[in-house]
Structure 1
């Protein structure tokens, strides 16, 4: 295990170095930036700012400076927000994390339960309805579902707020603050769950169909075990093994959030900040966010490989 982890860490460093160089060059060579796109600045002021921030230096030299600062915990300075990138991350990223954790929990819970039942009742009316709902959810764009639910639940029925994290002008604290946040995040969580549960349910359904046809499942039934125990103890445990590989992609999703959903519901998360920075061409912030996702992706992949080995000792790393 120690040898495997050492090799993987070396590979991760090489991959992240190559990714950082590629991403930095792509952003640096893209025509225009925040300074050149700001029509309020005079040519003299633009030249001064480019000199201050080192934007007039060669790309590789700028990359070397960025990499040196990154090793010291400095991912740059956001020109549009006028704050360090790490300060902005700490300010916005936990809002996205909260939204994604809750929606991921409900997505996996619903997908597992429905997927197991649909596989057990294959070709029944329940299975047919599930498959129709899955393909309907996967075919509809996220912005359409979000706007439709805002129209129904927020505008027409007035059950939930249409957006934001808190009510405008709210000074709630303690338990009242928690209730207000939960009330505002309910609608985006519903949309994110609906968008994610479709493909995951189909994944669990197909895995369960393969597993329940195995000999050890027939043996468990022949021993007189209850069907619920056979499905959720013996069959589900083995059906979850292929799904462990998906865990590696969940980690960057937790912090990356949903770019479109946060825009639709005006949720103050890192996704909305990323979209604003993209339109303003604030490349230091874009670079920091992209590298954060890259780091979380390689870490998540390593965690999924280790979890697969823990879940199935027969697998050799």
Structure 2
């Protein structure tokens, strides 16, 4: 195990170094930046700012400086927001993380239950209805579902607020603040759950159909075990094994934010900040965020491999 981890960590470092060079060059060679695109600045002031932030240096030298600072926890300074990049991440990324964690929990829980029942009742009216709903969730765009639910639940029925994280002008603290945040996040969580539910339910349903046809499932039934125990203990445990590989892709998604959902519901998350940085050409923030997603991706891949080994001892690392 130790030799495997050493080898994988070495590969991760090499991959991240290559990714960092690619990310830096991608934004460095993109025409224009925040300073050159700011029409309010005089040519003298632009030249002064480029000198201060080192934007007039060769690309390779700038990359080395950026990487040296990144190793010390400094991903640069956002010119548009006038704040350090990591400070902005700390202010916004946890809002996105809150939405992602709650919606991911409900998505996986509902997908597992519905997938198991649909596989057990294969080709029944329940299975047919589930398949129709699955394809509906997979085909409808996120902005359409979001705007539809805002119209129904927020505008017409007035059950939920249409957007934001807290009520405008609210000074709530303690449990009142928590209750207010939960009330505001309910609608975006519903939309994010519906968007992820379709493909994941179909995935679990297909795995369960393959597993319940195995010989050991028939043996468990022949021993007189209850059907619930056969499905949710024996069959589900093996059906979940392929799903472990999906965990590697869930980790960057937890911190990456949902660009469209956060924009629709005016949720102050990292996704909305990332999108606004494109219009202002705030390259330090864009580079820092893209590098963060790359780091989370390689870590998530390593975790999924280790979890797969723990869940199935037959797998060799």
After TM superposition, the score normalised by the length of structure 1 is: 0.99
Alignment length, in residue pairs? 317
- 1:48 Cα offset (Å): 1.1
Partner of 1:275: 275
Partner of 1:138: 138
- 1:51 Cα offset (Å): 1.1
1:214-258 CA distance string (max 9 Å, x none): 000000000000000000000000000000000001110100111
- 1:58 Cα offset (Å): 1.2
1:247-305 CA distance string (max 9 Å, x none): 00111010011111011101011111101111111000000000000000000000000
Matches within 5 A, 1:49-198: 49-198=49-198
Deviating beyond 6 angstroms after TM superposition, the runs of 4 or more aligned structure 1 residues are: none
Root mean square deviation of aligned Cα: 0.5
Matches within 5 A, 1:236-251: 236-251=236-251
SS at match of 2:298: helix
Matched, 1:314 2:294: no
Partner of 2:19: 19
CA distance in 2, matches of 1:122, 1:234: 18
- 1:186 Cα offset (Å): 0.1
255-264 or 230-239, larger mean C-alpha shift: 255-264
After TM superposition, the score normalised by the length of structure 2 is: 0.99
- 1:135 Cα offset (Å): 0.7
- 1:95 Cα offset (Å): 0.5
CA distance in 1, matches of 2:91, 2:55: 26
1:28-79 CA distance string (max 9 Å, x none): 1001111111111111111111111111111111100000100111000000
CA distance in 1, matches of 2:107, 2:294: 24
